[in-house]
Structures are given as structure tokens and as C-alpha cells.
């Protein structure tokens, strides 16, 4: 079974702090994604990566950056956390398009910025 | 741009009945459409994919239909059980890539 793990389930940070969210997948997937999920807004794509060191912006990249130095690891960075970044953050990975394109999600990190 | 509409109101049904959830999209017809289940505080879990040339897909008690004329997919759970209570999301490809657009989901409550 595919396993996607995230470094923390719950995180509380102060405004202005630099925040790192880590995601690791164990299925050698090329594609990895970071989403945030807010009530009524659904899942919104922040960034995705289709290969090591390759990244593209999603729908809401402002205030975030990412890093993918190894295939299995995709990190989301909040350079200077703000209260409007309080949210549930979900990481996902998917195999190449030769598969069904299904995405495998981690358990999520609930981030609170105070 | 493509948008997905799912009923934001919870669907409340009696155990044993068939639950039917709706996913409508507004723009181009996608090459496929996916359904996911999400439990509270957890990440979504992939359930089924249906391609544009398939009218219907089944997996155990789940059935998905895809009507490109109506721009709609229906997700059915037959003989529903309280354990089926969750939020169900539909998703479709953003373009020809592997990026997905997700609906905001419909919450299903199955009463014992």
C-alpha cells in the first residue's frame, strides 16, 4: 500500500515564524502536491512537483514556497506565517499518467497561526 | 475555468437505503472523473475513477455514472451502512495534466 506521511498532525505557530511542513511518500511517485483545505472552499492546490527539483505554482502559491531535493520528500515552507494561513494542509502523491491519476493523501497537518 | 459543484448540504439517510451524491462540472468534459472519501481530520482516500467513454463503473456497493451531456456524475452507495458516513469528494483533471480540481464535497450521514 502507498504510504504518505506528514511530519506533524497538529502545529501551533506564531505570526512571523518560518514554518516547515514535511511530506514523505514511499511509492517512488514522480508527482507530489501540497493542498490546503478550508471549510466551504474545498481543496486548493498550493504547489506541485513532477520531479526532483521541479516545481510549479498551483492556484494559491502566495506566501508559500516548496522544496524537493529527493524524490520521496516534498516540503512546504511558510516564509513568514500569518493568521490567514491557519488551515488543514494535505500532501499527496500520484504515479505517472499511465496510471489512473489517483492521488494518495497523507493524514494532514492542522496548522494554527496565532 | 472549470468548476465543480457538489451539494453542500449534508445527505441524511436511513441504513440500508441507497445514497446518491451528485457532482456537476461547468466547462469542458474531462477525460475522467474520480471520487474520494474523506473522514473527519483525515486525508481523502481514492475510491473510483470513471472515464469519459464509460457510462457506469461499479466496485462492491459503489456505483458511479458519468453523463457528459449533462456534465454530471452520480455516486451511489447501495445498502448503506453507518460506516459509510463521511464526506465524498469528486475530482477531475485540471487540463491534460495530472493536476486535479476537487469539489468541496458532500457529507453523508447514515442513520442506524
C-alpha cell at A69: 531535493
pLDDT value of position A2: 65
C-alpha cell at B1: 475555468
Chain A positions touching B89 (Cβ under 8 A) are: 42-43
Helix, coil or strand: residue B38: strand
Give me chain B's average pLDDT, please: 92
Band (A113; pLDDT cuts 50, 70, 90)? very high
Band (A101; pLDDT cuts 50, 70, 90)? confident
Band (B85; pLDDT cuts 50, 70, 90)? very high
Could you tell me if B45 lies within 8 Å of chain A, comparing CB atoms? yes
CB pair distance less than 8 Å for A101 and B45: no
pLDDT surpassing 70 at residue A40: yes
Phi and psi, residue B26, nearest 5°: -105, -20
Q: Nearest C-alpha of chain A: how many angstroms from B42?
A: 5
Q: Between A and B, how many CB-CB pairs are < 8 A?
A: 54
Mean pLDDT along residues B46-73: 94
Could you tell me if B3 lies within 8 Å of chain A, comparing CB atoms? no
d(CA A103, CA A109): 17
Tell me which chain B residue has its CA closest to the CA of residue A91: B43
**Do the beta carbons of residue A112 and residue A78 sit within 8 Å?**
no
Chain A positions touching B42 (Cβ under 8 A) are: 107-108
pLDDT value of position A98: 57
Using one digit for the tens of pLDDT, what is the confidence trace for B88-110?
A: 999 998 876 678 899 999 999 99
pLDDT value of position B18: 97
Band (A18; pLDDT cuts 50, 70, 90)? very high
Band (A99; pLDDT cuts 50, 70, 90)? low
Using one digit for the tens of pLDDT, what is the confidence trace for A45-81?
A: 999 999 898 999 999 999 999 999 999 999 999 999 9
pLDDT value of position A46: 97
pLDDT value of position B75: 97
Say how far residue A70 (Cα) sits from the centre of its chain.
15
A74: left (phi over 0), alpha (psi -120 to 50) or beta: beta
Amino acid at each position: 500500500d502507498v504510504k504518505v506521511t506528514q511530519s506533524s498532525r497538529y502545529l501551533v505557530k506564531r505570526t512571523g515564524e518560518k514554518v516547515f511542513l514535511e511530506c514523505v511518500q514511499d511509492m517512488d511517485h514522480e508527482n507530489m502536491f501540497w493542498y490546503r483545505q478550508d471549510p466551504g472552499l474545498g481543496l486548493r492546490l498550493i504547489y506541485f512537483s513532477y520531479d526532483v527539483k521541479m516545481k510549479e505554482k498551483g492556484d494559491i502559491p502566495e506566501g508559500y514556497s516548496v522544496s524537493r531535493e529527493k524524490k520521496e520528500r516534498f516540503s512546504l515552507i511558510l516564509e513568514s506565517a500569518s493568521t490567514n494561513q491557519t488551515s488543514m494542509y494535505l500532501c499527496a502523491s500520484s504515479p505517472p499518467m499511465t496510471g489512473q491519476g489517483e492521488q494518495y493523501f497523507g493524514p494532514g497537518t492542522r496548522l494554527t497561526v496565532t | 475555468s472549470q468548476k465543480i459543484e457538489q451539494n453542500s448540504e449534508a445527505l441524511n439517510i436511513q441504513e440500508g437505503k441507497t445514497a446518491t451524491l451528485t457532482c456537476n462540472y461547468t466547462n469542458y468534459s474531462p477525460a475522467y472523473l474520480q471520487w474520494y472519501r474523506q473522514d473527519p481530520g483525515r486525508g481523502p482516500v481514492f475510491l473510483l475513477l470513471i472515464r469519459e467513454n464509460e457510462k457506469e463503473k461499479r466496485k462492491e456497493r459503489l456505483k458511479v455514472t458519468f453523463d457528459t451531456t449533462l456534465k454530471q456524475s452520480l455516486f451511489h452507495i447501495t445498502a448503506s451502512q453507518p460506516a459509510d458516513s463521511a464526506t465524498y469528494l469528486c475530482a477531475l483533471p485540471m487540463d491534460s495534466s495530472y493536476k486535479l480540481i476537487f469539489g468541496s464535497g458532500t457529507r453523508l450521514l447514515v442513520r442506524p
